[in-house]
Amino acid sequence: MSGLTAACSLFSPARAHASEKKNDNGNFTALFNNMKCCGVIYEPIDGGEDFIIKAFNFAAEKAEKIKSCEIIGKSILEVFPAVREFGIFEALQKVWRTGEPVNLPVSFYTDGRVCGWRENYIFRLETGEVAAIYEDLTEIRKKEELIQESDEKYKFIFENMLNGFAYHRAIYDENGNMTDYRYLEANKMFENITGIKSENLIGRTVREVIPGIEEYWIKEYAEVVKTGKPKIFENYVAALDKYFEVSVYSPVKDHFAVVCSDVTAQKKILLNLQNLNEQVVEKNRELEQMIYIASHDLRSPLINIQGFSRELIKSFAALKNLLAETCLADDLKKKVDCSINEDIPESIDYINRSAAKMDSLLTGILRVSRLGRAPLKFENVDMDGIISEIFNSFEFSAKKNGITIQKCQLPCCIGDVQQIIQVFTNLIDNAIKYRDSSRPCLIKVSGEIRDGEAVYCVEDNGVGIAPQHQKKIFELFHRLNPGTTSGDGLGLAIVQKILLRNNGKVWVESEAEKGSRFFVSLPAH
Amino acid sequence: MDANKEISVLIAEDDEGHAALIVRNLKRAGISNDIIRFRDGQEILDFLFRNGNAVHRKNNHAYLLLLDIRMPKVDGVEVLTKIKADEVLCKMPVIMLTTTDDPKEIVRCHEIGCNNYITKPIDYDQFIDCINKLGLFIKIVKVPQIDGE
């Protein structure tokens, strides 16, 4: 009913014929009530000191969360106590006074009961009443704010990313091959790490920005654009003297985004390391070569020393025979006999023994150096098979000396079969060599997988090694009891060297006079 | 045996002592053949390929070469390679005589085409035994004559 009343006063009766009046009023009332905009009609009272709400449409009811029947006839100041602060009250007064419409820009109304963003258009009716047509922009504003907030958030994240980011559009030649690309967007970090300002970047192509750009960059990006498959790779830009690690993806056809970081420092360290490693390898090779040549060349004079000392023995024997047939005075004969029977044979014996010792040392060095140069073939090693084979080769000497050798089920490992056979042959050979004659010799080989590694143990009940000597046993040519056993002092040095090359380890647990346990670890299968 | 008396034994060996020991023991083993010694790889090549002013090999004569590997100027492996690449000289038996028993080097020399490979042992008895066998080898082996130009 209030709407009808409002519409009656809203549209001047003078503008319609008398016969159409009722009908027109009904139409306009319906129009007013159902329009999308909020609409309120105020009647000024007390000479414009207050305004009484005369009409309040459905949209306004919804926006202000109040029914029109509750407020028609009431003062605006009573219903909407914050209108002065909001600015509409003053506007209503001004419009009523001047008759000039006022557009009240978007502002926020709140009175504790209701709140929202409103944009009002206020005008005076011919009846002297004032109408306010307005829109409730609250929802739109909320959405806008959300969008703005999210935009700002992403902008912030984008600009403050620790990685460089750039977005590009592919450029193709007449054959459809991507030959260039244009920078569409780039963040601050991209500028920082490339050292290229965005004003020199955005809108330009890479060939303009970096004329010498390596073809591999364009080729890699072209592939991502073509296949749509993301890619991560690392490469070098000579013009910037920098290495970049980039993740590339193509979110939209013909476009691609790059997230990149400057890995020059890491790369240079790595290259430096590689370089150092190459130097070490080269030095090692040189050393091996030197050992080889030295030991080889040192053998030549040894052949002469021994050869000619034998020649000397032959000549000496002839001389001895001659002297035996010669008559000498007693005192002279005594002196000659002393030389012939003691001094000369002793000297020659020392020469020969020293030459033989030196030969054994040189042969040892050659063997070890050869071991370092031998090419390796890593494969799965059937340890059960290998140990059984080694046992077979020791069978004769074991039987002869009353030695018991046992083995448990052994796990497989990865290594060079020939070298691993050498390791266990040496260990078992040592266990036999250093057995304790006061008790029957027992040698046991066991193994297990421990922390992803195959760990084997060669255990004996032999003479054992005192703790203070345990480290020395792996040294080249080191022999604990050179007088009592034969050997070149290389067995364990070779074991250690082989394991080093096969990514394994060897260590010992031992107690003097009780026995030893040699452990070998190798990569497990 | 008589036919092999005509064989000349060539020794390319830079070490005076080794050469003397080889010659002495070959003689003791009953080898009375002509023995010619060369001090390095270049000397033996000059002799065989008839370069330079020193003595050159004779036409239609049988030779057997004892070749050391480590020698100054041109090493034994290079000498062996050149000999085996030559269509006339390749018929000449070559016995490598060296101080190393490196399996790789032995394989390499056999690949190039050496006829035998002897490691000079330090053990003098072994050495004498080796030279004796070599003497025997020289006595019985059929050595082809090498043609001249």
pLDDT of A75 reads 94
Place of tokens 């209503």: A92
Query: Has residue B97 got a pLDDT over 50?
Result: yes
Quickly tell me which residue has 């020059």 as its tokens. Answer: A264
Helices (H), chain B: 16-28, 41-49, 76-85, 103-112, 124-140
**Is A303 in Cβ contact with B21 (below 8 Å)?**
yes
Would an 8 Å CB–CB cutoff place A507 in contact with chain B? no
Say yes or no for a CB contact (<8 Å) between A304 and B122. Answer: no
Please tell me the predicted confidence (pLDDT) of residue A230.
Answer: 95
The values of phi and psi at residue B57, to 5°, are -70, 155
Question: Residue A11: is its pLDDT beyond 50?
Answer: no
Q: What is the pLDDT of residue B36?
A: 94
Average pLDDT (A314-328) is: 87
Instruction: With a cut of 90, say whether residue B129 has pLDDT above it.
Output: no
Sheet architecture: strand order including A404-407? A404-407, A442-450, A453-460, A515-523, A505-511
Q: Give the helix/strand (H/E) hosting A450.
A: strand A442-450
SS3 label, residue A522: strand
Mean predicted confidence (pLDDT) in B74-89: 92
Name the minimum distance, in Å, from the CA of A311 to any CA of chain B.
9
Q: Model confidence over A220-254: pLDDT tens digits?
A: 999 999 999 999 999 999 999 999 999 999 999 99
Give mean pLDDT, residues A355-359.
84
Q: In chain A, whose CA is at the least distance from the CA of B128?
A: A307
> What angle do the packed helices A264-324 and B124-140 form, to 10 degrees?
80
**What percent of chain A lies above the pLDDT cut of 90?**
54
Residue range A254-268, pLDDT digits in tens: 999 999 999 999 999
Contact A427, A435 (CB under 8 A): no
SS3 A113: coil
Reported as half-sphere exposure (CB side, CA atoms, 13 A), residue A353 has a value of 6
- Residue A202 has φ and ψ, to the nearest 5°, of -65, 130
Query: Which residues on chain B are in Cβ contact (under 8 Å) with A303?
Result: 15, 17-18, 21, 99, 120, 122, 127
User: Do the Cβ atoms of A304 and B15 come within 8 Å?
Assistant: yes
CA distance B112 to B67: 13
Please tell me the pTM assigned to this model.
0.51
Please tell me the distance in Å from B138's CA to the nearest CA on chain A: 22
pLDDT > 70: percent of chain A: 94
Q: Which residue of B has its CA nearest to A355?
A: B122
Q: Does A514 touch chain B (CB under 8 A)?
A: no
Distance (Å) from the alpha carbon of B50 to chain A's nearest alpha carbon: 30
- Counted across chains A and B, CB pairs separated by less than 8 A come out at 48
Mutate to test the interface with A, among B124, B128, B131 (most CBs of A within 10 A): B124
**Contact criterion met (CB below 8 Å) for B38 and B45:** no
Burial class (CB in 10 A: 0-12, 13-18, 19+), B17: middle
Q: Which residue has the higher pLDDT, A62 or A490?
A: A62
For residues B112 and B83, is the Cβ–Cβ distance under 8 A? no
pLDDT tens for A330-347 read: 888 888 888 888 888 888
Q: Between chains, do B15 and A370 touch, taking CB under 8 Å as contact?
A: no
pLDDT band at A324 (very low <50, low <70, confident <90, very high): confident
Whether pLDDT at B128 is above 80? no
pLDDT band of residue B2 (cuts 50, 70, 90) is: very low
The 10 Å Cβ neighbour count of residue B127 is: 22
Instruction: Determine the Cα–Cα distance for residues A33 and A59; give it in Å rounded to an integer.
Output: 8
Instruction: Specify the pLDDT at position A166.
Output: 94
**How sure is the predictor about A5, in pLDDT bands with cuts at 50, 70 and 90?**
very low
Q: Dump pLDDT digits (tens) for A198-217.
A: 899 999 999 999 999 999 99
Q: Nearest C-alpha of chain A: how many angstroms from B121?
A: 7
Query: In sequence order, which ranges of A121-210 are alpha helices (DSSP H)?
Result: 138-160, 188-194, 206-209
- Mean pLDDT, residues A264-292: 88
At A102, is the pLDDT very low, low, confident or very high (cuts 50, 70, 90)? very high
From chain A, pick out residues whose CB is under 8 angstroms from the CB of B18.
300, 303-304, 307
Q: Is A304 part of the contact surface with chain B (CB cutoff 8 Å)?
A: yes
The two three-digit tokens of residue A287, written as one number: 């050393």
| Range A481-493 average pLDDT | 75
Q: In terms of DSSP bridges, do strands B61-68 and B145-146 run parallel, antiparallel, or are they unpaired?
A: antiparallel
Amino acid at B144: P
> Can you tell me the mean pLDDT for B64-75?
88
Q: What does the DSSP assignment read for A55-80?
A: EE-HHHHHHHT--HHHHTTSBHHHHS
Are the beta carbons of A366 and B100 separated by less than 8 Å? yes
Placement of tokens 């009484």 in the chain:
A52
For residues A429-444, average pLDDT: 90
Distance, in angstroms, between A346 CA and closest chain B CA? 18
pLDDT bracket for residue A483 (50, 70, 90): low
- Cβ pair A465, A516 in contact under 8 A: yes
Helix B41-49 with B76-85: angle, nearest 10 deg: 20
Determine the residue type at B22: I
Residue A296 has its nearest CB partner, among B18, B70, B122, at B70
Cβ-based burial of A38 (10 A; exposed 0-12, middle 13-18, buried ≥19): buried
Q: What is the mean pLDDT of chain A?
A: 88
- Least CB–CB distance from B122: residue in A299, A311, A366: A299
Residue of A nearest to B18 (CA): A304
Q: Which of A297, A308, A356 sits opposite B122 (nearest CB)?
A: A356
Report chain B residues touching chain A, CB-CB < 8 A.
Answer: 15, 17-18, 21, 24, 70, 99-100, 102, 120, 122-124, 127-128
Q: How many residues are given for chain A?
A: 525
Choice among A132-136, A260-264, A351-355 with the minimum mean pLDDT = A351-355
Mean residue pLDDT across chain B: 83
Is residue A180 over pLDDT 70?
yes
Class of domain B7-139: alpha beta
Instruction: Give the per-residue pLDDT at A22.
Output: 57
Give the domain ranges of chain B: 7-139
Question: Environment class of residue A520 by beta-carbon count within 10 Å: exposed (0-12), middle (13-18) or buried (19+)?
Answer: buried
What number is the average pLDDT over the span B5-28?
86
- CA–CA separation, A282 and B46 (whole Å): 36
Residue among B65, B70, B47 nearest B138 (CA): B65
Taking 80 as the threshold, does the pLDDT of residue B140 lie above it?
A: no
Is residue A220 within 8 angstroms of chain B, CB to CB?
no
Element (H, E) at A255: strand A255-262
Query: In this model, does residue A4 exceed pLDDT 60?
Result: no
pLDDT at B1: 40
Q: Is the pLDDT of residue B121 over 80?
A: no
Report the alpha-carbon distance of residue B21 to residue A293 in Å, rounded: 23
A119: which DSSP letter?
A: E
Q: Is the pLDDT of residue B66 over 60?
A: yes
Q: Give the chain B residue nearest A374 (alpha carbons).
A: B104
ipTM attached to this prediction: 0.74
Among A45-49, A186-190, A417-421, A485-489, where is mean pLDDT lowest?
A: A485-489
Predicted confidence at residue B122, as pLDDT, reads 58
pLDDT in the model for residue A14: 39
Return the higher-pLDDT residue of A328 and A71.
Answer: A71
Q: What is the pLDDT of residue A18?
A: 45
Which stretch of DSSP H or E encloses residue A394? helix A383-400
A12-30 burial: b if 16+ Cβ within 10 Å, else e: eeeeeeeeeeeebbeebbe
Average pLDDT over residues A382-406: 89
Contact present, A60 and A80 (Cβ < 8 Å)? no
Structure tokens at A127: 């009846």
Q: How far apart, in whole angstroms, are the C-alpha atoms of residue A222 and residue A167?
A: 14
**Residue carrying structure tokens 């991502």:** A224
CA separation, residue B92 to residues A54, A121, B58, B142 (Å)? 133, 121, 13, 10
CA A467-A469-A473 angle, 5° bins: 125
Chain A: give the shortest CA distance to residue B23, in Å.
Answer: 12
Q: Between A306, A366, A370, which is nearest B122 by CB?
A: A306
**Where is pLDDT greater, at B71 or B140?**
B71
Closest partner residue to B99 (CB to CB) among A303, A310, A311 is: A303
**Residue A169 parent element (H or E):** strand A164-172
Asked if residue A17 has pLDDT above 50, the reply is no
